[in-house]
Amino acid sequence: MDAMRLIEATRCALARSQEPAVIVAEVWQSQALAQAIGHRLAVAGPPELRGEALGLSELSGRGCGLLDPPRSEAEDIRAAGLTGIGDAHDTLLGLGALLAEAGIALVSVAMSADDEGLYWQCMESIDAADESRDRVVEMLRKLAARSGEGACDRCGGTVLGG
C-alpha cells in the first residue's frame, strides 16, 4: 500500500480511538509508519533528504521502543504494508499531520493516566513524536528550497507553521 493510504488509515484509526490502550497502540502504529517512511526515503528518496530521513527513521524507532507494541498479529502492523512513497512532499505533509495528531492524542492519555509509568511513557513518546515531526518539517523545507518555493507555498504553512 502506498504511504498516503497508510497515513490516512492510521489517522482515521487514531481519530476513532477512545480507550487509552487503543490510543497508545495507534500512536505506536504512527511511529512505526514514520520509521518505515524515513527508512524508505533514506534509501531511495531525494538525495538532499537522506540524512534527515535516516534521522526520522531512528527517532521514530525510538518512539516505537518507548511504547508497548499493539497486541496484534504482525500482519496488523500497517507499516509492514508500505510499498512506495509516491510524492515525497505530499507524503511528508501527511506524515507531519499524523505525528502532530499522535502527540496530541498522547497528551490526552497522559492527562488521564492513573499510573505514573504510563504518564512518563506518554511524555517521552510525545517528545519522540515532536522530534520526528521536526525532521519531517526540515525535509519539507529542503524540498521547498530545491523547488524554489519560499516558505512552502504548496502546504500553506500547515506543517511548517508549528
- Domains (ranges, CATH) in the chain? 3-155 (1.20.1260)
Q: Name residues whose C-beta falls within 8 Å of residue 107's C-beta, 6 or more positions apart in sequence.
A: 122, 126
Residue 151's pLDDT band, with cuts at 50, 70 and 90, is very low
What pLDDT, on a 0 to 100 scale, did the predictor assign at position 75? 52
Q: Is the pLDDT of residue 154 over 80?
A: no
pLDDT of residue 95: 98
- Residue 14 has, within 13 A of its CA and on its CB side, a CA count of 27
Question: Given pLDDT bands bounded at 50, 70 and 90, which one contains residue 107?
Answer: very high
pLDDT range class, residue 123, cuts 50, 70, 90: very high
DSSP code of residue 70: P
pTM: 0.87
Distances in Å between the Cα of 126 and the Cα atoms of 23, 69, 101, 109 are 13, 16, 10, 11
pLDDT band at 7 (very low <50, low <70, confident <90, very high): very high
